[in-house]
Structure 1
Amino acid sequence: MPISINLFSIKRVTLASPPTQPPYCPCCSRVSKRLITRSSNRNGNAGRPYSKCLHCDKFLVFDDYRGNDSTNPECHCGYSSKRQVSGRSKPVAGRLHYVCRLGMCDFFSPGKDAKGIDVIIDMDLTEDLSRLSIIWYDSFIAS
């Protein structure tokens, strides 16, 4: 089913800032390490900075502005969340959801439409939105 978007109806977004320091891991409370995704990353995340807990081997957050709309739902930390879309290798590919923008808590909230139904975005559209920094595509192997 084709999607039609009126570009003139899109509102200007104020982006919230990413973490300024690597966050503490919400699982083990250790300071995470700031890393950069490989240039060979095929999921639209090449060269992006991110934080990972090396002790838990847990990805925490991308350390950039992509998906950081200040009007996103508030996470458990009291800050606006990060909007992202699950990648092809996830159980529900293209699922819009929100996570902690600062990587400090385990906040997760599915994106819902006006009828309360989960928003699923076509993967081709997902890649286009990712390139425009509107969302980020969370199916990647970071190392």
Structure 2
Amino acid sequence: MRHISLAVVGVQFDNKKGPPRRFVVEMCTPGEPVELRPEPKNPADRNAIAVYSARGVQLGYLTAERAPMIGKAMRDGIVQAIFQRKEKWGATIRAHLDGSVPTLPDPADSRAADWPPPGSQDADWWPDEEWPDE
């Protein structure tokens, strides 16, 4: 899995400085670069990875389930990411874990549009890629 779409959560919280995260998400355009910043001293999660806009303002965080995998990829090589789209629940970014320049996925692929699933009790759930049975 070298190219992946990732949920950005925590958008509903305000930044300590600067504009609110929801406003920052609204200002982002699909395809613009985003920066991933590990936060090993984060008291809630030492694997936390913050997501920042091209303007250097925080959008939110990667989910706790994905952060360790992305953190490892960041330590092992170059990870580049772009803003993919705003969502009702936050935002989606597109990351390439092989150092290549990220590209937006096919717009017809809307699997993430209704995340979290209606009635879901687990707001941290994120669907994995579905592969056809062989």
TM category, shorter: under 0.3
Structure 1 or 2: larger strand share?
A: 2
Larger radius of gyration: 1
Which is helix-richer, 1 or 2?
Answer: 2
* Structure with larger RCO (C-alpha < 8 A, sep 6+): 2
Give the structure-1-normalised TM-score.
Answer: 0.26
